[in-house]
Amino acid sequence: MATTQSTRQVPLVSADAPDGDESPRGPRESRASTISSGLLMVVFAGYFLTPLWWLFVASTKRLEDLSTTPGLWFGDGFHLFSNIGDLVSYSDGIFVRWMINSVLYAGVGAALGTLLAAMAGYAFAKYTFPGRDWLFNSILAGVLVPATALALPLFLIAAKVSLVDTYWAVFIPSVVSPFGVYLARVYAAAAVPDELLEAARLDGAGELRTFATIALHLMSPALVTIFLLQFVAIWNNFLLPLIMLQDDKLYPLTLGLYAWNSQVDAAPWVRLYAIVGSLVSIVPLIIAFLSLQRYWRGGLSAHAVK
């Protein structure tokens, strides 16, 4: 009687692996390194969040509670909404005017700056023309120039064309973003296929239509990233409005709150309004980042390994 033997494959098990565990494992971190990393992250998070917590707590207090209660804990009652009401009605609603100015400077400036950066980056990535690399390197060199070095030349130029103490003195320099041009070029070179553009041209689409219907759609994650970076930069801009503007009705929030906080002979409650106004001023930034977060992260990480 013939007997047959079945052949069975036996998985290879490492000699160091425990019994019953057949899956290969990589190096494991020690418990000490995991705990130390977690503690370090908690320390850094506390360092960055403590000023925000103080700002929120101080905004809920009355004026007399600012100096008589602990700085990192609430006072007698929760007065945040009443403080905001007093803030927006103080000095004929000048804070609301500053908020509108900041929205105009940052929102319109970031949108137009993003469009210009997208057009320039697309042109540098997809067109060949004399002096392209030299011109791009010149624009990229603008990233290395600090804003403080450009403040005086910008003021002299604005004074020459009578733009000082106008909206345009702050708005026009805000739409220029050398880093946005760089990011748009890198993303356009990787995300917009030349074959797709050539097919659109063969179908009779012009260059402007090809850019508007194809390139902008494919570049949208990078454009959201550029918009957010530009929006935050313009919203937090302080030096340029400080040099260009004298009329307080043209101030953005940064300059207006600074003016309140630096008044030596101001009424005591003005300091409280400056604190509450600082808390309100960060709300648009939080909303912008939370609503566009997934596009922003996608724009930063896309094609990072290419």
List per-residue pLDDT tens for the chain, 306 residues long: 444 444 444 444 444 444 444 445 555 667 888 888 889 999 999 999 999 999 999 999 988 888 888 888 888 888 899 999 999 998 888 999 999 999 999 999 999 999 999 999 999 999 998 989 999 999 888 888 888 888 889 999 999 999 999 999 999 998 988 999 999 999 999 889 999 999 988 888 889 999 998 999 899 888 998 999 999 999 999 999 999 999 999 999 999 999 888 876 667 788 888 899 999 999 998 888 888 777 765 544 554 444
∠ CA 227-169-142, nearest 5°, is 55
Q: Around Cβ 55, how many Cβ atoms within 10 Å?
A: 14
**pLDDT of res. 57:** 93
Please, which contacts does 65-73 make with residues 24 or more away whose CB atoms are closer than 8 Å?
A: 66/271, 66/272
Report d(CA 267, CA 272) in Å as an integer.
10
Structural tokens at position 25: 């494992």
Query: 30 to each of 16, 39, 245, how far by Cα in Å?
Result: 17, 14, 57
∠ CA 118-124-125, nearest 5°, is 85
Report d(CA 7, CA 221) in Å as an integer.
54
**pLDDT of res. 254:** 93
Q: What is the pTM assigned to this prediction?
A: 0.81
Alpha-helical segments (H) within 161-252: 167-174, 178-191, 194-202, 207-210, 216-218, 220-235, 239-244
CATH number of 87-301: 1.10.3720.10
Report d(CA 47, CA 73) in Å as an integer.
16
**pLDDT of res. 87:** 92
**pLDDT of res. 7:** 45
**pLDDT of res. 249:** 92
**pLDDT of res. 251:** 95
From the number of C-beta atoms within 10 Å of its C-beta (0-12, 13-18, 19+), residue 88 rates as: middle
**pLDDT of res. 6:** 43
- Please list, in sequence order, all residues whose beta carbon lies within 8 angstroms of the beta carbon of residue 188, skipping any fewer than 6 positions away: 118, 121, 122, 124, 125, 126, 215, 219, 222
Structural tokens at position 73: 């804990």
* Closest of 151, 287, 125, 131 to residue 219, by C-alpha: 125
Report d(CA 255, CA 235) in Å as an integer.
11
Structural tokens at position 143: 């990233």
> Domain residue spans in the chain?
34-78, 87-301
